[in-house]
Amino acid sequence: MDLRIDHATIVCHRLGKPVVLADHSIRIDGGFIVDVAPTASMACADAGKIIDARNHLVIPGLINTHHHLYQSLTRCMKSVQDAPLFGWLTALYQKWKHLDYETVKLASQISIAELLLSGCTTTSDHFYIFPKSSDVRVEAVLEAAESLGIRIHACRGSMSVGRSRGGLPPDECVQDEKTILDDCRRALQSFHDPKPGAMRRIDLAPCSPFSVSAELSRDTAALAREYAALLHTHAAETLDEERYCVEKFGMRPIEWLDQLGWLGPDVYLAHCVHLSDDDIQRIAATRTGVAHCPCSNMRLGSGIPQVRRLLRAGARVGLGVDGSSSNDGGHLLAEARQALLLARAAEGPSAMTVAEAFTLPTLGSAAVLNRPELGNIAPGCCADLALYRRDDIALAGAVEQDPLGALVLCRVARADRVIVHGRTVVKNGQIATLELPTLIERFNRVVADGFTSAK
């Protein structure tokens, strides 16, 4: 055996419901969990390295279903702190048009490090900014992920309809559709790994209804399905988007996506804030996934998604932090707490339970990304784990009342140890794979200089 974790308080799922297992052990071999049982029954079991976790809560590694990793470059930018989505985007495109390969890689490392420290072990990244004359490629994100050891769904995004054709982005931030599709195919052929336990997958992700054509949406869907890859996009995020779709296409965003062949079990949609009754039924009936991003929706004033109704209808719903320019942070456990609070603020205390909030970034997100091997602690699952100290001041008292409730309702700052596919990537609350202080210092210099180049 590669590793055994002993005497842990484990919070995981059994029969789809969260449970707390006291004084249990986890055996890991080849990056996968091979056994979970009371520690007393494992005393004679084979083990390589043993971690004594009697002072830890252990949960499945959290799964982030929507992010824009590069956006740490424009985190908290003063000029857009109070802007709604369309105004926010219009201003930020003027900054993002200067992106290059090294800048995107550096920004992605910063965002990934923040995610890992929160206990996140898998992230989706929606990267769709490929400025003209830039050397940016999806490899910048993949290299960043590999350098830190996180599991990633790298979404090769796209924008093809610029301002001159009635879209929102400036023309210098869009690509022609042949270039987009050729590079999507290249990314799939070069980097997509469909195997269970894969550390990286390529998803295809046109940005939004106001930045891509119907033809590109259909062609992208056909290409993704040729490679059994997932499809991802923003949908029904704001009322401005809804008005755009009604005026341009004569229908609401979800209806438009349905007409394009963009609903189904291989599709996950970010936000889904403004949904009609028919939209909810379409999403649930087609098994389309939803990436719920509560902090971003609140920060931009986009609205409150009807998560309770989606879940009751049987929709697959996971959690996303969204980009750092609309969230200003990347703490997935805190995002679960925010999801619970937002639901209750809108519909009362019965709108979301602690158990449902915990399920969103674990089994919920795993289902959205079609990754049944993630999001739980059980034999056959990937050895993706987050360990939090029981004696953290944020959990004092609460952990003796209810370990599950303590993790969701309290404000634990960071994980003490994070393991991805059996490899420790956070140890003693610090990134174990690179020198984070040096990275932060370099990153701050790049941001201060206008990030025209990180070389």
Per-residue pLDDT tens over the stretch 274-314: 999 999 999 999 999 999 999 999 999 999 999 999 999 99
Q: Both tokens of residue 213?
A: 């054509």
Query: Taking a C-beta distance cutoff of 8 angstroms, is the pair 263, 403 a contact?
Result: no
Q: How confident is the model at residue 133 (pLDDT cuts 50, 70, 90)?
A: confident
pLDDT over threshold 70, residue 92: yes
At 42 the pLDDT is 84
Instruction: Report which residue type is found at 287.
Output: R
- Looking at domain 3-60+381-436, its CATH architecture is Roll (2.30)
**Range list of H helices, 17-166:** 85-96, 101-118, 139-148
Q: CB atoms < 10 A from the CB of 77, how many?
A: 17
Query: Taking a C-beta distance cutoff of 8 angstroms, is the pair 330, 108 a contact?
Result: no
pLDDT over threshold 80, residue 340: yes
- Asked if domains 3-60+381-436 and 62-368 share a fold, the reply is no
pLDDT over threshold 90, residue 198: yes
pLDDT over threshold 60, residue 448: yes
Q: Both tokens of residue 54?
A: 């009697």
Query: Taking a C-beta distance cutoff of 8 angstroms, is the pair 433, 117 a contact?
Result: no
Q: What is the mean pLDDT of residues 193-199?
A: 97
Q: How confident is the model at residue 45 (pLDDT cuts 50, 70, 90)?
A: low
At 193 the pLDDT is 98
Domain ranges of the chain: 3-60+381-436, 62-368
- Cα–Cα–Cα angle for 40, 42, 47, nearest 5°? 140
Instruction: Report which residue type is found at 38.
Output: P
Query: Taking a C-beta distance cutoff of 8 angstroms, is the pair 11, 362 a contact?
Result: no
pLDDT over threshold 60, residue 455: no
- Cα–Cα–Cα angle for 372, 137, 113, nearest 5°? 55
The residue with tokens 């802007």 is: 83
pLDDT over threshold 80, residue 208: yes
3-class secondary structure, 299: helix
3-class secondary structure, 8: strand
Overall fold of domain 62-368: TIM Barrel (3.20.20)
Question: For the chain, what is the mean pLDDT?
Answer: 96
**Among 28-32, 287-291, 331-335, 449-453, the least confident range:** 449-453
Q: How confident is the model at residue 63 (pLDDT cuts 50, 70, 90)?
A: very high
Report how far apart, in Å, the C-alpha atoms of 378 and of each of 35, 65, 288, 368 are.
Answer: 7, 21, 26, 19
pLDDT tens-digit readout, 157-175:
999 999 999 999 999 999 9
The residue with tokens 């449902």 is: 356
pTM for this predicted structure = 0.97
At 1 the pLDDT is 60
Q: How confident is the model at residue 450 (pLDDT cuts 50, 70, 90)?
A: confident
Q: Which helix (H) or strand (E) holds 89?
A: helix 85-96
pLDDT over threshold 60, residue 454: no
**Range list of H helices, 263-317:** 277-285, 294-299, 307-312
Report how far apart, in Å, the C-alpha atoms of 180 and of each of 174, 216, 377, 381 are.
Answer: 9, 9, 39, 35
Q: Both tokens of residue 404?
A: 């599950």
Q: What is the DSSP letter of 382?
A: B
The residue with tokens 């308080």 is: 9
